[in-house]
Chains A and B, each alone.
Chain A
Amino acid sequence: MRKHPISFTVNGDLQELFVEPRKTLLAVIRDTIGLTGTKEGCSTGDCGACTVIVDGEPVTSCMMLGVSANGKEVTTIEGISNPGELHPVQQAFLEKGGYQCGFCTPGFIMAAKALLDDNPDIPEDEMRHALGGNICRCTGYTKIIEAVLSAAETMRANA
């Protein structure tokens, strides 16, 4: 299958690639670039495990074609922390026990980050609806919501 040239950034790094038009952004991130922190849970855009941030918006990367990322800025779970310094959402998930098996965690953290970047004052009931596209099977969500609420507090304080 003929490949198309695309150019975009992932976590600030310029990527210039030849990509088959049938490859999803998720496949490009995981298989071509080799960043495996973003997970594939359903391949149909329903579980949120593959959530990344594209130009500031949360996107299920299994539902976006890689070629559509041309010219865009993509941020993955690998791009939100620095050595020795976690993003407040990551820190909160760590402290509150907002993960168990951890497979949904990168997607959840990216969805929560995008949400709080947009509105760190979001009330819990709206937060629960906004995060309804991310499935976690282990935690029962209690500690995830505690973590996102706690991260919101930190991000408000940092703002």
Chain B
Amino acid sequence: MSEHAVVGKGVPRVDALEKVTGAAKYGADINFPGMLHARIFRSTEVHAKILSIDTSEAEKLPGVHAIITQDDIPTGRAVFAKEKVLYYGEPLGAVAATDPDIAEEAAELVKVEYEPLPVVQDVMESIKPDAPHLLNDRTKDGPRRRVITRQLKKLSKETGEDNSAEIERLNAELGGLDDEIYYNVAGETHESAGDVEQGFAESDVVVEGTYTIPRVHQVYMEPHVSVAQAEPSGKLTVWASTQGHFAIRSGIAGVLGIPLSDINVVGVTMGGGFGGRFNIQATHVPAVILSQKTGRPVKAQLNREEEFLDGRPGAGCVIKLKTGVMDDGTIVARKALAFWDCGSVAGGPIANTIRIRGVYKFPHLQMDAYAVHTNKSGTTSYRAPGAPQAIFAAESQLDEIATIIGMDPVDLRMKNMREEGDQVPAGATEPIVGYKETLKAAADAVDWWNREKGPNQGWGVAVGDWTNGCGPGAVYVSVHEDGSVRLFHGSMDITGTDTAMAQIAAEVLTVPYEQVSITRGDTNSAPYNTGSGGSVVTFTMGNTAKLAAEDARGRLLELAAQRLNTDIEHVELRDGKVSLTNGDAPKSLSLGELAAYSLSTTGGPIVGKGSLSGRLSAPAVAVQIAKVEVNPETGNTKVLRTVASQDVGFAINPIAVEGQIEGGVVQGYAWSMMEEMQYDEKGNVNPGFVDYRVPTTADIPRIESVIVEVPAPNGPYGAKGVGEPSLTPTLATFANAVTDATGVRINDLPIKPEKIVNALKSNGNGSR
């Protein structure tokens, strides 16, 4: 049994009532008298020079109050395309009108002349010399060219020795490596440990494969929306549905070239983010500038089609992966070459290609990753950015290896897993981790070693890992005269983090959970806070809430000691009362009495403060096992069972934690089996829920969550971030299950029915 009264309990969330009654106010629910509605007008070409933009007809439409283009951006920072467009749906400007339908009509009246340019949508084509060069990026060298270039540089510096033969040899090799000159590259990252080629030479078995993971949309249910009001003084207020309102403030300040203090951002309830609602997005700046132009409040809102055309989805990639193992299953070496499709904007989670190292110990590693431009919208974070993609490749290949060497896939993973003190390839040494415990918990939950399967059925297992961050954050705790406790902070809540904070404050101050409430401040009032993402919030804000509550408790004990004429060592806080620990007579003071008393003391009202900017977090791991049945005639896959274990450190609210696990699994299932943003020379061709299918209640049965608790040394009550790890192994879990069911392996996601049918056909058919 838990020694805790409130943390560790699945209490309803602090926002439960407003969410189930429809009272919660989201971005689109913010309305003001006289408010105008913005509509962005967009490119209808995929790659083209802009010859002219004519807004004259649109301006004449009754109800239109302002039209803006890139010329209206004071700093000249790119908000709208001006010289050329790089994708279908790229914003060219925005209209503000009295009604959303009038704004839409006006946007359609804007005339744009283009000179079309050639289009490239495939990263493997885009890196070639004959591809259209989208942003005039310099070329980058591939892995082997990098090594040779470095050697040549070194040799040229070594004077006195005759290196000419070696230099000639290397130059000759370089001359044969033209296919390693990559075009359209926006960024690169490289990591290595040991000597990977030596590792492959020493391995008994070496397996290579190419893995293709599609671009997918976060599909937060609330499309992007912002409301802005420019005051006559020049000050701005922005109501934003965002994962972090402080980042919206700095983003707007940057684009407008104005001080932070001129902008107040109110973070409103947000309809999901999953990484897609960080920083300024399509709606913020248009709303602000249109409000400045008109002096009226302006709401800018995307619809779902615009979300697909012009959102910032999760990046797709192509990963070439090679792994060397010994016959007994010991992993020796692993090498990855990855090309991430960052679309028309530099970015993409290229650094997280390193996740191919997984939770395993091996001496030789090399990772080379590139972000490559294509004629698509830019990308941004999607739940553990980069990890599901890299781990799909890594855990698929590990499964293939298990089959080749005839080893059980769970045993193979268990054998290679790192423990505390083990060296992380190209990293530090492991702190205390729960990898093996979590794998065992999942395997035990399905009785793995006695698992059974019928015809066309298969089991898949995969392991994913993630480390939560810890951002700056602060909390104030006030204790009021009625004994109630109020927290005040500037952190956005999506997943129940406010609830975790309330539970922690209740625990520390020994009051019922219901007695604690929370106020979220806007950027003018609240202390600075990092954005809600990266699985940082419970770790960061749980810690700050605990610090703040402990600070308030200290003051309560001090006041009580004063009031009871004793020393602070002789009082204790329990059940919402401070009592004498050494008194004969049972004397005690309630929190409310102490709060009332505090008002007439020199110290004043009871306020506790917690503030921190960084604490070392702990690695989290998620293991998932799925059982599927594949119809070999239709290629349809039916999920029979999914078990998801996760090391969460400590579950402050088990219902919320399970919810994070279940939600991550279903998103991962969709990425593995269903979802893909599709592009051709016309741009995105499936910008809606009919052609971009996301899972519903009919697609996947209940997820069985298994909570594993290996406490994080610095986490509040040992808690780790839980939001992201749950999606990291899922893509591979289902791919491995399909392979076990069919005997064919699909490395090109999503595993749509036709791919299975075609693979079975070319494999000489065969259910097994």
Contacts and interface: CB of A to CB of B under 8 A. Distances in A.
A22 B496 CA distance: 39
Given A94-B16, A100-B495, A137-B272, A47 B689 contact: yes
A101 B19 CA distance: 8
A41 interface: yes
B656 A128 contact: no
A4 to B, nearest CB: 15
Contact of A78 (B21, B271, B274, B495): B21
A61 interface: no
Contacts of A41: 221-223, 271, 304
B271 A102 contact: yes
Most buried by B among A36, A37, A137: A137
A94 B13 CA distance: 8
Interface in B656-698: 656, 658-659, 661-667, 688-690, 694-698
A99 B20 contact: yes
A42 B304 contact: yes
Nearest to B496: A100
B424 interface: no
A131 B101 CA distance: 31
Contact of B26 (A22, A31, A103, A131): A103
B21 A77 contact: yes
B448 interface: no
Contact of B22 (A77, A101, A137): A77
B20 A109 contact: yes
B595 interface: no
Nearest to B698: A132
Given A103-B272, A135-B221, A137-B274, A38 B22 contact: yes
Interface string A55-94: 0000000000000000000001110010000100011011
B697 A128 contact: yes
B703 A140 contact: yes
A96 B730 CA distance: 24
Interface string B1-32: 00000000010110111111111111011010
Contacts of B150: none
B272 A138 contact: yes
B22 A143 contact: no
Contacts of A91: 20
B22 A78 contact: yes
Most buried by B among A76, A101, A103: A101
A102 B15 contact: yes
Most buried by B among A23, A31, A46, A104: A46
B535 to A, nearest CB: 15
Nearest to A86: B20
Interface in B263-282: 269-274
Given A47-B221, A86-B21, A103 B271 contact: yes
Contacts of B271: 39, 41, 101-104
Interface string A110-152: 0000000000000000011101111111111111111000000
Contacts of B25: 36
A23 B102 CA distance: 12
Nearest to B669: A140
B29 A36 contact: yes
Contacts of B17: 86, 94
Given A97-B659, A100-B659, A131-B696, A140 B666 contact: yes
B663 A137 contact: yes
A25 interface: no
B556 interface: no
Given A78-B22, A90-B21, A99-B20, A137 B12 contact: no
A130 to B, nearest CB: 8
B104 to A, nearest CB: 10
A89 to B, nearest CB: 8
Contacts of A22: 101
Give chain A's interface residue range (CB within 8 Å of chain B): 35 or more
A53 interface: no
Contacts of A20: 101
Contacts of A145: 697, 702
A76 B698 CA distance: 25
A132 B698 CA distance: 6
A106 to B, nearest CB: 4
Nearest to B494: A101
A90 B698 contact: no
A97 B698 CA distance: 19
A86 B28 CA distance: 25
Given A46-B689, A46-B690, A95-B12, A143 B222 contact: no
Contacts of B219: 135, 137
Contacts of B114: none
Interface in A14-36: 20, 22-23, 27, 30-31, 34-36
A20 B99 CA distance: 11
Most buried by B among A23, A35, A103, A144: A103
B303 interface: yes
A39 B12 contact: no
Nearest to B37: A31
Nearest to A49: B221
B181 interface: no
Nearest to A80: B21
B696 A132 contact: yes
Given A43-B304, A143-B658, A101 B270 contact: yes
A90 B690 contact: no
Most buried by B among A35, A93, A94: A94
Given A37-B23, A46-B688, A101-B221, A137 B16 contact: no
Given A86-B21, A102-B15, A102-B269, A42 B663 contact: no
A101 B495 CA distance: 7
Nearest to B657: A97
B655 interface: yes
A11 B371 CA distance: 53
A100 B22 contact: no
Nearest to B28: A40
A102 B665 contact: no
Contacts of B303: 42-43
Nearest to A27: B100
B341 to A, nearest CB: 22
A104 B31 CA distance: 20
Given A42-B689, A97-B656, A140-B666, A135 B694 contact: yes
A49 B694 CA distance: 14
Contact of B662 (A37, A44, A135, A143): A143
B700 A141 contact: yes
A49 B28 CA distance: 13
A49 B698 CA distance: 17
Nearest to A136: B221
B597 interface: no
Contacts of B664: 140
A41 B307 CA distance: 11
Contacts of A144: 697
A94 B12 contact: yes
A141 B688 contact: no
B381 to A, nearest CB: 15
A86 B20 CA distance: 9
Contacts of B100: 27
A20 B13 CA distance: 40
A113 B220 CA distance: 24
A91 B26 CA distance: 21
A35 B28 CA distance: 12
20 contacts: A39-B26, A42-B689, A46-B690, A47-B221, A78-B22, A94-B20, A100-B659, A100-B663, A102-B15, A105-B20, A105-B22, A129-B697, A129-B698, A135-B696, A137-B220, A137-B667, A140-B664, A140-B665, A141-B662, A143-B655
Given A44-B688, A142-B702, 5 more contacts: A86-B17, A101-B220, A127-B697, A129-B697, A140-B666
Q: A-B pairs with the 6 shortest C-beta distances?
A: A37-B22, A103-B271, A102-B19, A140-B662, A77-B22, A140-B666
